Amino acid sequence: MKYTNVNFRIRMRFIQVLCILIAGLIYSQDYPLKFGIKAGWNYSNVNAIDEFGEKSGYLSGIIDEAYGGFVIEKQISTKSYIQAAPTITFMDGVIFIELPVYFK
């Protein structure tokens, strides 16, 4: 029951922030909306060994990571931009969803 309330509050906070961003974008229609896609693959070979001779780090060895997403950039004034770049990353059976929002 406790976790349900926490998840609900997080969800409501996300919806509030999203509504504020959308309201800001609605009133700045004089400036263009730019968008694009991004994708990539990261291959890493980590050979980290600690002082005890054991593998060190989160994942030692070969690491493969694929990611993809899209980028939206909205100019809100002559010198200000908001950029959102939601990205989905696949790594060793784990899926990450990242949502960085930049204010330039």
Predicted confidence (pLDDT) per residue in 2-29, tens digit: 555 767 788 888 888 887 877 776 665 6
Q: DSSP secondary structure string, 56-104?
A: -SSS-EEEEEEEEEEEEEEE-SSS-EEEE--EEEEETTEEEEE--EEE-
Closest CA to 87 of 71, 101, 68: 68
Tell whether the model's pLDDT for residue 1 goes beyond 60. no
Note the pLDDT of residue 27: 65
Tell me whether residue 77 is exposed, middle or buried, using C-beta atoms within 10 angstroms of its C-beta: 0 to 12, 13 to 18, 19 or more: exposed
Note the pLDDT of residue 58: 59
Residue type, 50: D
Tell me the pLDDT tens digit for each residue of 63-97: 678 889 988 888 878 888 888 888 888 877 778 88
